Amino acid sequence: MNFIEWIKQPWPWYVAGPLIGLTVPVLFILGNKSFGVSSSLRHICAACAPMNISFFKYDWKKEVWNLFFAGGILLGGMISAFFLSNPDPVLIDTRLATELAGYGVTNTEGLVPKDLFNWESLLSVKGLILMVGGGFLVGFGTRYAGGCTSGHAIMGISNLQLPSLIATCCFMIGGFFFANIILPLILKL
Question: Which of positions 135-164 make contact with another protein (CB under 8 A)?
Answer: 135-164
Cβ atoms of 35 and 27 closer than 8 Å: yes
The number of CA neighbours under 13 Å toward the Cβ of 135 is 7
Is the torsion defined by CA of 22, 78, 122, 143 positive or negative?
A: positive
* Least distance in angstroms from the C-beta of 83 to another protein: 9
Number of residues that bind another protein (CB under 8 A): 135
Q: Which residues contact 23 (CB under 8 A, 6 or more apart)?
A: 35, 150, 154
Site for another protein in 110-139 (CB under 8 A): 110-113, 116-119, 122, 129-139
Q: Which residues contact 173 (CB under 8 A, 6 or more apart)?
A: none
Cβ atoms of 35 and 151 closer than 8 Å: yes
What three-state secondary structure class fits 23?
helix
* Least distance in angstroms from the C-beta of 10 to another protein: 5
* Least distance in angstroms from the C-beta of 21 to another protein: 3
- Measured from the CB atom, the residue of 87 and 174 that comes closer to another protein is 174
Site for another protein in 42-101 (CB under 8 A): 42, 44-45, 49, 51, 53-59, 62-66, 68-81, 84, 86, 90, 92-93, 95-96, 100
* Least distance in angstroms from the C-beta of 173 to another protein: 6
If one asks whether residue 37 binds another protein (CB under 8 A), the answer comes out as yes
Residue in 101, 102, 124, 175 binding another protein, rule: CB under 8 A: 175
Alpha helices in 9-107 (DSSP H): 13-31, 39-48, 64-83, 94-102
Is the torsion defined by CA of 36, 37, 38, 40 positive or negative?
A: positive
Residue in 6, 32, 88, 89 binding another protein, rule: CB under 8 A: 32
* Least distance in angstroms from the C-beta of 151 to another protein: 5
